[in-house]
Amino acid sequence: MTNRVPDRASSPPAPPNEASVGELMTRLSEQTSRLVRDELALAQVELKNTAQQAGKGAGLLSGAGVLALYGLGAAIATAIIALGLVLPLWLSALIVTVILFVAAGVAGLLGKKEVEQVSPTPQRTVENVGRDVEHVQEARHRDHTHRS
């Protein structure tokens, strides 16, 4: 993938089985560079997606905390007074408090579930690099067996 202009006086590139060592090394270098760039780009995409998912989970956890605080204040100010018309005030306060903490617990569990699903490892990149290493090793092994 270089931008060099082929020399018109030189012969066309040799077929792969007749290529010189220099040509093979040039191809190897170009292909290795391209492979590394592609794998880095894939890792970048995967890490971006992981960060987005972690952010979503953290946002849900933060929302659970805010809801718990607002809910606690608002419920104590309104629901206890309303329930106090038919129940003793202490029982009204206890009922409202339990309901609010159950709602906060559900939101907290949902946020925790999102955060736990985040994988810090870019899985596809690791798998691709593993396959690339296997292919290189197989090609090297084939090359050594053909030379013998």
Length of the chain: 148
State how far the alpha carbon of 103 is from the alpha carbons of 4, 79, 116, 122, in Å. Answer: 66, 15, 20, 34
Q: pLDDT tens for residues 92-136?
A: 889 888 988 898 999 999 999 988 888 777 778 888 888 888 888
Q: Does residue 78 carry a pLDDT above 80?
A: yes
Q: Is the confidence at residue 44, as pLDDT, over 80? A: yes
The residue-averaged pLDDT of 81-102 equals 89
Q: Which of 125, 135, 119, 124 is nearest to 37 (CA)?
A: 125
Note the pLDDT of residue 2.
44
pLDDT > 70? residue 43: yes
Identify the pLDDT of residue 76: 74
Instruction: Work out the average pLDDT over 73-85.
Output: 84
Give 4-24 pLDDT, tens digit per residue. 444 444 455 555 567 788 888
d(CA 110, CA 71): 18
